[in-house]
A and B are shown apart, each in its own frame.
Chain A
C-alpha cells in the first residue's frame, strides 16, 4: 500500500518539476520578486531551484515520516500515545531546515560579496518555499499515513476519516 502511494506521488513530483522546467512559471515569479541588486538570470535560476525543490523536499520528508520518523516515537507507556502527533511535526521541521539550508547554500554561492541582507532575503524566499513544501507534505500525508499514526497529520481525521466513514455508510 505504502509503495503504491510512493509511486503515485513520485510521478506527481516528477511531473511538477518537469512542468516547472518547461513552463514560464519560474520566469514570471523571478520577474516579479527580483531584488534590485541581483542579476536577473541568477535570480531566475535561484527561484527555479527553490520552486523545484519544494515537491522534492515534500516527498523526501513524507518518505522520512512514513518510514523512519513515526517509528522513533516508542509507545512503551500510555502517555506516549498523546505524543503521536510529534513525528509529523518533526517532518515539518525537517522540511523547513532543508529548504532554509538550500536557500543558505544558494545565497552563499550566488552572492559573492556576502551581502547579508541579500542572503537573508534569499533565505526568506526559501522559507516561503518551505511553507509550500510543508503544505505539499501535509497533502501527501492526507493520502497516506502509517497505521500507528493514521490520523496524526492535522485534519486527516476530519477529512479522510469522514470520507472513509461516508464510504462505509456510517
Chain B
C-alpha cells in the first residue's frame, strides 16, 4: 500500500509538519508521497515544513537509517514527492501562475458583457483585483476558480507524477490519499472539495478505481489573532469571520454532495471551542505570517495515520469521525484518538522520541563534541566497545551529528508549541519541563517570544530533574528514578552490539570503510541511544513494556 498526503494552505502545511514528526517517531506508513498546495510560496509555515522534509530526508540518507526494522522504527517512512524536469523535488505547488488577480485569471477585458456582469455579481471590485501572491486572504470564493483550474494541469508536474504513482500502486494494492485543509480560511476551503473531486474523476477511468481511497481532515475554527487597527479596512482573513466561514462552507459541501456523491471515503472533522491566540500573530502573508503548531494539527496528522491504517474494502466507503474530551478544559492521553492503540502507541513513541532528543542535545552531543571525549576515550565504555576510536569525531560523522541536532531542535520546538500554544491544559507531556526545554532551546525566558523564535541553539542545557519528569504527572502514576542521566548512562554501557553484517540494521553493522571515514556512525549511535532510552522510559515511567 502507498500513502499520499496533500496539504492545502498554511494550516495544512502545519498538519504535514506534524505528520512528518509522527513518521520520525516511527508511527508513519512505510511510504508517504507528499505535496503541499499554497498560492503564497513564501508562506512561513509552508517553508518551515519544506525545511523539515529536507532535514528528514537528509538525515535518513546520511545516517543510513533502516526502512524496515522492528528494533528501530524511527524515520522508517520513505518520504517521496514529485520532481521537476531537472530532478529537483517539488514539495510545494502553487496554483497561482503569472495571473495573480481574478481579473487577469478570467481575462476580464476579453469577457463578453454578461460574463463580466456575472463576475461583478459574484465578486466585489476589491476581490476581483486582489493580489494572490500572499494567499486568497480569507476569501474562499476567490480561491475556488483557481483551484478548479488544477483539472487542466494534471499533465504537468507535480500532478502528473502523483497521478502516475497512484495508478502504479493500484495495480498491486490500495492507494490512500489524505487531504488536509481548513474550512474557515480561503485556500483550504476552496481546495478541499475540488482537489479530491479532480483526482476522483481521473480515477474513474482506472480499472482498480475501488482501491483508490481518499480521506480528508477538515479543520474547523480553533485559533485566532489580532488584526492591527490600521488594517481593519483592508481584505484579510479575519478571525471573527471564521465561524461564519466554516458554517457557510459546511452548508456548501452539504449542498454539493447531496446530489453527487462525495469524492471522500472518510472525512475527519476536527476543531475546538477555544480560539487560541498564543503564538499566533497577524501577518500579511509570506514570512510574516507566523503561526505556532496547535494540538488540533497533531490530531489531524493522527487522523491521517488512522485513515492509512484502517482496513479498506474494494468498494466506495463513506465514514465520518469525531472525538471528544472527558473533561472540559483538560486533555489527557486518553482523549487523543488512537494514542493507546497498539499500532500507534503515540504516548510511548512521543515519550521515547522526546527523551531521545533531550538526551542527545543536552548530554550526548556535547559529550562527543568535547575535545576530552577522544582524549579520555576509555571512559566511555559504550563508545570504546562498539565504535572505532576517533570515528565519532570525523568530518562526516560531525556533519551527521549536526543534521541530527537540527532535526531534534525542530522536533522539540514543535512539541513545545503543541503543548504551550493552547489555552487547553494538555496533560500529556509535562508543560513545566517543556517550558524549560523551550527556554533553553531559544535562549529566551519569555514563552510567547520563544514560541515565535526560529533560531535554535545546537546544544541545550536540560537538567536531570527535567529529563526524568517529561511525562505529565497527571498522565500516569510513576515515581521517577533518582538519577535520570546516570541511569541512562548505565543502560548505554550495557548496550551490546548486535552481530550483524547488514548495513540496514540501524547502521549497526557498518563496514570498516564506513567507520574509517565516519559514515553512518551517528546512525549507529542513534540506534544505541534509542534502545537505551526505551529501557530507561520503561523503567522510569513504569510503562510495563515487555523486553523483546
Contacts and interface: CB of A to CB of B under 8 A. Distances in A.
A41 to B, nearest CB: 48
Interface in A64-89: 74-79, 81-82, 84-85
A75 B489 contact: yes
B489 A151 contact: no
B159 interface: no
Interface in B316-374: 362-364, 366-367, 370, 372-373
Task: Report the interface size class on chain A.
Answer: 20 to 34
Interface stretch (B54-62, B111-119, B178-186, B379-387): B379-387
B384 A150 contact: yes
Contacts of A151: 378-379, 381, 384
B486 A74 contact: yes
**Residue of B367, B370, B379, B484 ringed by the most chain A CB atoms within 10 A:** B379
A15 interface: no
Contacts of A152: 378-379
Contact of A147 (B364, B370, B463, B490): B490
**Residue of B372, B384, B463 ringed by the most chain A CB atoms within 10 A:** B384
A148 interface: yes
A74 B464 CA distance: 11
Nearest to B388: A170
Nearest to B366: A78
B376 interface: yes
A134 B489 CA distance: 28
A5 interface: no
A150 B377 CA distance: 12
A40 interface: no
Contacts of B364: 78
B464 to A, nearest CB: 4
A82 B378 contact: no
Nearest to B484: A76
Contacts of B172: none
B486 A82 contact: no
B384 A157 contact: yes
Given A74-B486, A161-B384, A81 B378 contact: no
Nearest to B379: A84
B492 to A, nearest CB: 9
Contacts of A149: 379, 381
A164 B497 CA distance: 13
A44 interface: no
A139 to B, nearest CB: 18
Interface in A140-160: 147-152, 156-157
B490 A81 contact: no
B384 A78 contact: no
B486 A75 contact: yes
Given A147-B490, A148-B493, A78 B376 contact: no
Contacts of A161: 378, 384-385
A160 to B, nearest CB: 10
B456 interface: no
B485 interface: yes
A78 B486 contact: no
Nearest to B494: A147
A85 B379 contact: yes
A74 B384 contact: no
Nearest to B465: A76
Interface in B468-498: 483-486, 489-490, 493-494
A23 B165 CA distance: 87
A95 to B, nearest CB: 21
Contacts of B380: 81
Contacts of A157: 377-378, 384
B499 to A, nearest CB: 9
B483 A76 contact: yes
Contacts of A81: 367, 373, 376, 379-380, 489
Nearest to B464: A76
A74 B378 contact: no
B381 A147 contact: yes
B378 A156 contact: yes
A49 B381 CA distance: 38
Interface string B147-173: 000000000000000000000000000
A79 B364 CA distance: 10
A79 B489 CA distance: 13
**Residue of B370, B489, B494 ringed by the most chain A CB atoms within 10 A:** B489
B261 to A, nearest CB: 60
B485 A75 contact: yes
A83 to B, nearest CB: 8
Nearest to B487: A75
A82 B381 contact: no
Contacts of A76: 463-464, 483-486
Nearest to A78: B367
B381 A148 contact: yes
Interface string B427-470: 00000000000000000000000000000000000011000000
Contacts of A74: 483, 486
24 contacts: A75-B483, A75-B486, A76-B485, A76-B486, A78-B362, A78-B363, A78-B364, A81-B367, A81-B373, A81-B380, A81-B489, A82-B370, A82-B376, A85-B376, A147-B381, A147-B490, A148-B381, A150-B381, A150-B385, A151-B378, A156-B378, A157-B384, A161-B385, A164-B385
Top 4 A-B pairs, shortest CB-CB distance: A157-B378, A150-B381, A151-B378, A78-B367
Given A147-B493, A157-B384, 16 more contacts: A75-B485, A77-B363, A82-B370, A82-B372, A82-B376, A82-B379, A85-B376, A85-B379, A147-B381, A148-B493, A149-B381, A150-B381, A150-B493, A152-B379, A157-B377, A164-B385
